[in-house]
Amino acid sequence: MPHPLKLVRAMLGKTQSAFAEELAHRHQWKMGLGQMGISRSKVAGWESGRWPPDKPTKMTIADWLGIAWADAEQLGWPHMLHLFLSDTETLTAPWTPQGAIEALRSAAQQADTQPRSSYLTVTGPAVEDLAGKWQKALSNPLPPSVREGKPIPLSVVDAARSGVGELEGMFWDISPAHLCPLASGFLRTLITFLSEYSYDRQAGSELFLLAARNAILCGALFMGMGESARAERYFLIAARAATAAGETMASAMPMAYVAYCHLVADSPGDVIPIVDAIRATAQELLPSPFAAGLHLLEARARALLGDATAAVRSLEHADSALTAGSASTAPLAFPLGKAADLWVASGTGITWLHLGQPEKAMKFLTRLIDEFTSARIFPFAAYERLYIADAQIAVGGVADAASYAARVLDLYSSPPAIARQYQEKFTAYRDVPAVRDLLRFLAEHTTR
């Protein structure tokens, strides 16, 4: 994913050399911090993540970009840069109904305009801050205020409820790329209702809950297209909207999906604080599939972090939670409900793959290959299915993996971001005839 500093430079119209020159000038003459040895290669090192800038340099960058140092220091590097990249409301808006409206407006716009595969909004130190603010907001929720202005008719609220339900139903049958514009457009309509019309507390709560459901759908669709950063923005605003509605479970669900975005973006350390916060806040409310899903998120994160004992223990907890079979009372069943067992098979198999046991992984992942068409549902995004190809390759089935990848790309209408990921995966096996056919197909879809 592009480093946020690279996105900042693009917005400023600066090359690495020009950025370094301007930064050195500001460091010495505007900030009075003396001369600094900086070059294009040092900026490149920051953007590659090899090393961070020192504190005086970060202070200079914050001043240049108009970021308050207190905010920059709290978020840390490089997360402070999101305050320049128009993620300000998502990161800093208060966890109130009005703050939710501000975040909804801002993040929905950013999710649709940021470059593909841009950096995750909340990472590193900001994750624990997010989890803490979310828990605090739910422990003392503020109901939506009665708004003045043109009242929204109840018939419009009823129509909005039906519209969101219909969009969720389409998820099962329509390509994410085709449904996404319709879903994001409907979310903007809901945001307009929340921000420009008057309503009582009951209608306001329902509108916030509908916005949360719609935002979860948008996030799921972007995950289906391999756009985890855009998906994360939608899940973040869904959590805010559901919190404004006073719905704990409806808010916990998108928080779990935020954790999932960090998992597939190779940030397993960010997963644990979110999962812990969900358990601490909603443990008694969790239906068994959701509880199992949290254990599987933790199992995969622990496996990636190299803690095999904790990963296996989390798998055991996931199995126990699903076996318990508690009924769901969640106001939001979408989108885990219809395929919880497939989600468990996927998470278990991928955990064993991360633990270096591909044969054991295939015992669970084979089911997803056999029940192929029923598994479009999030979180069985096309990106997720890359792990199945990894397991097939690891057990010597390169041709099988290429065949499976072609079916996946056909199911998801080959969005460019997904096609590029599969292309990177299979290039090393181009000598296999089935892989050559796949790479020719992928070449057509990565140039869109």
Which tokens in the block code for residue 173?
């049958």
Number of neighbours of residue 233 by Cβ within 10 angstroms: 31
| 197: nearest Cα among 160, 162, 238, 247 | 160
Give how far Cα 316 sits from Cα of 172, 256, 257, Å: 30, 19, 21
- The model's pLDDT over 333-389, given as tens digits with 9 standing for 90+, comes to 444 555 667 778 889 999 999 999 999 999 999 888 877 655 555 545 667 788 899
| 134: nearest Cα among 219, 208, 205, 236 | 236
Share of the chain above pLDDT 90, in %: 44
Task: Return d(Cα 423, Cα 444) in angstroms, integer.
Answer: 11
Cβ-proximal residues to 447 (8 Å cutoff; 6+ apart), any chain? none
- The model's pLDDT over 291-337, given as tens digits with 9 standing for 90+, comes to 888 999 999 999 999 999 999 999 999 988 877 765 444 444 444 55
Phi, psi angles (nearest 5°) of residue 418: -70, -45
How many residues belong to the chain?
A: 448
- The model's pLDDT over 259-271, given as tens digits with 9 standing for 90+, comes to 999 998 888 999 9
What value, to the nearest 5°, has the Cα angle with vertex 117 and ends 387 and 293? 45
- Amino acid making up residue 118: S
Helix boundaries (H) for 31-140? 40-48, 55-65, 69-75, 88-92, 97-113, 125-139
pTM summary value: 0.81
- The model's pLDDT over 386-434, given as tens digits with 9 standing for 90+, comes to 889 999 999 999 999 999 888 888 777 767 777 888 888 899 999 999 9
